[in-house]
Amino acid sequence: MRESSVKEKLIGVAGRLFHKQGYNLTGINQVIEEADIARGSMYNHFQSKTDLLIAYLEQFQEEWFRSLEEFLRPITDPKKRLLALFEYRIRRQQRAEFSGCPFTKISAEIGNEEAEVLKTVQKFKDSVRSYIAGLVAQVKHRNILTNEALTEMIYLMMEGGLVSAAIYKNPGDLKRGKKIVEQFL
């Protein structure tokens, strides 16, 4: 097998399992078995399970934003783009059976000593927040709130909606959040 495709396969399988079952409930054994790669090979490519986790998170972030850009490309109106960001998250949750935001989920699963993982999660959240701020800046909204406050509100309602989607296993709160945000644009 190609050198890189071993890595890719491990990240792919591990990511799917981490996402679906949870990080702590997924053992290295299961990952290597389903990826059909030997234990030693895995540890040749990744120093530790944490290392594999971080590789997965970094790849996920890349894919997430790439896929978002694609989803928003046909939409030009900034208002509609902002609402489409909600829609993007709703659809991803539906496809993932409402497992919640993978980054948030991981942050709840890791131990207090895993500082690097937490930093990776923070980096993703920072990027999402910046993305929202960028869209808000382009919207000529109703000015009930400042740009900063509107950004904060949207970010928090999205985070809250994602948590709620995972807890109730439905997109209700995300959809209601989207509707409320719509009233401010």
Question: Residues interacting with a copy of itself, by CB under 8 A?
Answer: 20-22, 24-25, 100, 104-105, 107-112, 118, 121-122, 125, 144-145, 149, 152-153, 155-161, 163-164, 166-168, 173, 176-177, 179-180, 183
Cα–Cα distance between 123 and 130 in angstroms, integer? 11
Angle at 83 between CA 150 and CA 90, to 5 degrees: 115
Which of 1, 108, 156, 167 is the binder for DNA (CB under 7 A)? 1
81 contacts 135 by C-beta, under 8 angstroms: yes
121 binds, among DNA, a copy of itself, none (CB under 5 to 8 A by kind): a copy of itself
Nearer to a copy of itself (CB atom), residue 83 or residue 121: 121
State the binding string over 100-119 for DNA (x if CB under 7 A, else -). --------------------
167 contacts 72 by C-beta, under 8 angstroms: no
87 contacts 182 by C-beta, under 8 angstroms: no
Which of 20, 38, 70, 142 is the binder for DNA (CB under 7 A)? 38
Sequence-ordered alpha helix ranges (H) in the chain: 3-21, 28-35, 39-45, 49-72, 78-95, 102-109, 115-138, 147-168, 172-182
Contact positions vs DNA (CB under 7 A): 1, 3, 6, 26-30, 37-41, 43-45, 47-50
